[in-house]
Structure 1
């Protein structure tokens, strides 16, 4: 890389770095292991694109989760790479603004921290590198950077190491199949950035999960606070049971009505170890959802129907008017095992997790698998398990991420259910007699 004065910058990209530079698209997501050299890759990508920029007032950002982190990781390295240009007055360094301005075209590279997103509002961006994406607040990308790239169709490179389900995993999996996106993954065995003996030591001394996440870039490796890992969800999606396997077991429906405009209403059926493909609806009101649930009840004759009481009161009332026996479940209500769980929702999710580990089978649905692996948990002062709320998940993920599918499946574990006997099933079809799903427990 050189200017018109043939000043050369010190950069000899490794084979994997060359591949990243060549394979990038408008939006590029790179999962890289620790100490791979991703910051050098990012800085040189910014320098190359800024130096070659042909339009006026080019703006390029490097963003890390925190400003202090950005300064420590990137600012010193950027200045070091640009020192040959600074010596010939080809670039101006501004310490106060953490910026480098190229004299031949006026393009600027600036360093920012995601902890002060307002400092980046109102700009027109031509390119950006977002580092350690797993720790970045979702609104930085969704509300600020993405709109700023629209004016001149700017580009973005996301780099980082997997760390559970968050903004990084969301965009990594979303990139698959989109024409203007590219996702790449480079493990410690792909880059040769770390000595082989040291890699062997790390594998020996680190826990399997930590090594898989930090050095094999495994998004499915469970975090310490994940209730259900992505690998467990993937395994559950590969299982399939036949009608013979579930025959005679109770049929259960879980219904999670939408709470807000972006949420989905979901009807989920489960029988024994088999969960069936859910019915998902957007933008329907309570009356229409009640009609869809009623149709599912009529056609499938479930042994119990559990509905989230928080957003489903209208649906529940309508179904009861139609003569259907449905059970309302308050997510925030008292758990049946109140000494173990802070509320009913975490209890249901814990039952769901145990079911998956016991051999439960789910539809091979990417959104469902992601949702199951999304919530984190912890314990309160009384030693009760607490599960991350829907609202907190939506804040943590990219402007959404509400686990509507997974919550509907979790509802099928609200209470133990006994199957109806054949006489009860016949009577239900003809007279809609009331049925107590807990009889005989």
Structure 2
């Protein structure tokens, strides 16, 4: 359970908490056998242990007349995180936690580590961060091991290990439990993963590591449960790719789930911090630091904040189909009717004929038949196009090669024109887009440049080399701006394509 329902995180009554804890401790000391029973309960209920006895430290309390060392009471999202970490460890699975700043996640990881260290004999908990001073620097509250020593020292004597001596058992980068042999160890920088095997490993601010791939490779051999914890640092790193891979459990810690914060707090952050910092470290926006991105993240965020009731779906339905090759890429369908965009449909491992069947199935679900089904004629898109042309919607199927050169004096090729139209569309609110963070990341990270004075978008191969996957969801949306039978564009539907002078289809 999280903190008591009566507890107000914005006006905390710590005296009442201290009184309850004192009464509880008195009962334990007066009741033989109660301590042993409680320890057995806490072994399987870490949230209860933290709420009942945990302490934390916040120096900012001094300025408002509150104590700086305070009971560690978990709000619901924090309690969910503790349970999530426990599930990952017991299931021998990796996990990733993305977070807004100042959510207490470092203290949560410390609390979980101490719980495991106390109640699970022989376990080894690892902590790593990009700099040693963030892991362990004596006397520095920002270091993880300072927090660990504080958490243990502030526990009632009944819950500290028998024979515990901080000077002896908590040297630099190490905390040893003399009663049951459990250990907490620390590493920094490129040394992460090079030490002993661990039961669980917390990777602090892992989006900021200098050599993240080497660290992941090292840890893969030493721990069955790695927990990446970080605020975003753009989308050109393994943390971003892991976050959106669909292969690892993700826990999101957004500031709106913190009962201590409200819109007034958020507005203050926006007024005092750089916009990129607000986007990355508060709004969990992976695109905030992407340079040369064609579509700004705020345009996408604004569109994703609207629902279907906020827009008028004028016109006919258009379906954009981005057909994927086999592998980790997705085949994606995007359905758009004027200002309304439906949640996308994703499939993996389909050939062109199978994908055509999915397109027809989704088309039947629409409120009216589509006026256009646009497919990029590349790889499996060709066989999907051929199959759809034979079906019930054959008359509205359009095949395009986005690498086709144009002569409109603005766009290098059809792809550039589609992306230009998509940006102009988003610049004319209101637009309702599906609330999909991966779609937002892809739309806000495809880059652009000008070649011979013409707009040229980043090639798929370049994007995949940089970000680890193709922008399939973004491409499906953009394809809905291709010419159809009922929408007039400067260029007619183009069935042929020529590579540009570098030999690449853009």
Please, what TM-score do these two structures have when normalized by structure 1? Answer: 0.63
Q: State the SS of the aligned residue for 1:89.
A: helix
- Shift, 1:255, TM fit: 1.4
Query: Shift of residue 231 of structure 1?
Result: 1.8
Aligned 1:364-383 pairs, distance under 5 A = 364-366=434-436, 369-373=439-443, 375-377=445-447, 379=449
Aligned mate of 1:410, from 467, 478, 495: 478
Distance 2:165 2:382 in 1: 67
Q: What residue is the counterpart of 2:383 in the other structure?
A: 314
Q: Deviations over 1:342-370 (max 9, x none)?
A: x6545433422321231364464536654
Equivalent residue for 2:57, pick from 7, 13, 29 = 13
Matches within 5 A, 1:114-125: 119=194, 125=198
8 Å contact kept, 1:390–1:403 = no
Aligned residue in 2 for 1:426? none
Stretch deviating more after TM superposition (346-355 or 204-213): 204-213
Indicate which of 341, 351, 369 corresponds to 1:300.
369
Counterparts in 2 of 1:74 and 1:277: CA distance versus 1, 3 Å: closer
Counterpart CA distance in 2 for 1:209 and 1:242 is: 32
Matches within 5 A, 1:247-266: 251-266=317-332
After superposition, the CA RMSD in angstroms is: 5.2
Aligned pairs, number: 379
Secondary structure of 1:300's aligned partner: coil
For residue 286 of structure 1, what is the aligned residue in structure 2? 352
1:90 corresponds to which of 166, 169, 173: 169
5+ residue gaps, structure 2, are 1-53, 59-69, 86-95, 138-142, 154-163, 495-506
Partner of 1:424: none
Q: Say whether residues 1:126 and 2:199 are aligned partners.
A: yes
Change (3 A) 1:87 1:297: closer
How many Å apart are 1:239 and its aligned residue?
A: 5.2
Q: Among residues 194, 197, 219, which one is paired with 2:284 in the alignment?
A: 219
1:329: Cα distance to partner? 3.1
Superposed displacement of residue 59, structure 1? 2.1
TM-score by length of 2: 0.56
Q: d(CA) in 1 for partners of 2:270 and 2:357? A: 55
Q: Match of 1:430? A: none
> 1:346, 1:387 within 8 Å by CA — same for their partners in 2?
no
Cα distance in structure 1, aligned partners of 2:448 and 2:166: 54
Q: Distance in 2 between matches of 1:31 and 1:339?
A: 40
Quick one: distance in 1 between partners of 2:178 and 2:467?
40
Report the CA distance shift for 1:277/1:132 in structure 2 as closer, same or farther (over 3 A).
closer
Change (3 A) 1:338 1:260: farther
Give deviations 1:54-103, integer Å, cap 9, x for gaps.
332x2212233x3xx2x13122235656599776422454xxxx555444
User: Any conservation in 2 of the 1:348–1:413 contact (CA below 8 Å)?
Assistant: yes
For 1:238 and 1:394, locate their aligned partners in 2 and report how far apart those are by CA, in whole Å: 35
Equivalent pair of 1:50/1:108 in contact (CA under 8 Å): no
CA contact (8 A) 1:43 1:74 kept: no
Secondary structure of 2:384's counterpart equals helix
Displacement of 1:52: 0.8
Question: How many Å separate the matches in 1 of 2:83 and 2:448?
Answer: 39
Q: Match of 2:486?
A: 419
Q: CA deviation at 1:116?
A: 6.8
Contact 2:372 2:484 in 1 (8 A): yes
Contact between 2:336 and 2:342, CA under 8 Å: does it hold in 1?
yes
1:75 corresponds to = 136
Question: Is the contact between residue 236 and residue 356 of structure 1 (CA under 8 Å) also seen in structure 2?
Answer: no
Unaligned runs of 5+ in 1: 1-9, 422-435
Instruction: Tell me the distance in 1 between the aligned counterparts of 2:198 and 2:100.
Output: 25
In 2: Cα distance, 1:363 partner to 1:334 partner: 29
Matches within 5 A, 1:270-285: 270-285=336-351
Q: Does 1:231 align with 2:301?
A: yes
Does residue 108 (structure 1) correspond to residue 183 (structure 2)? The answer is yes
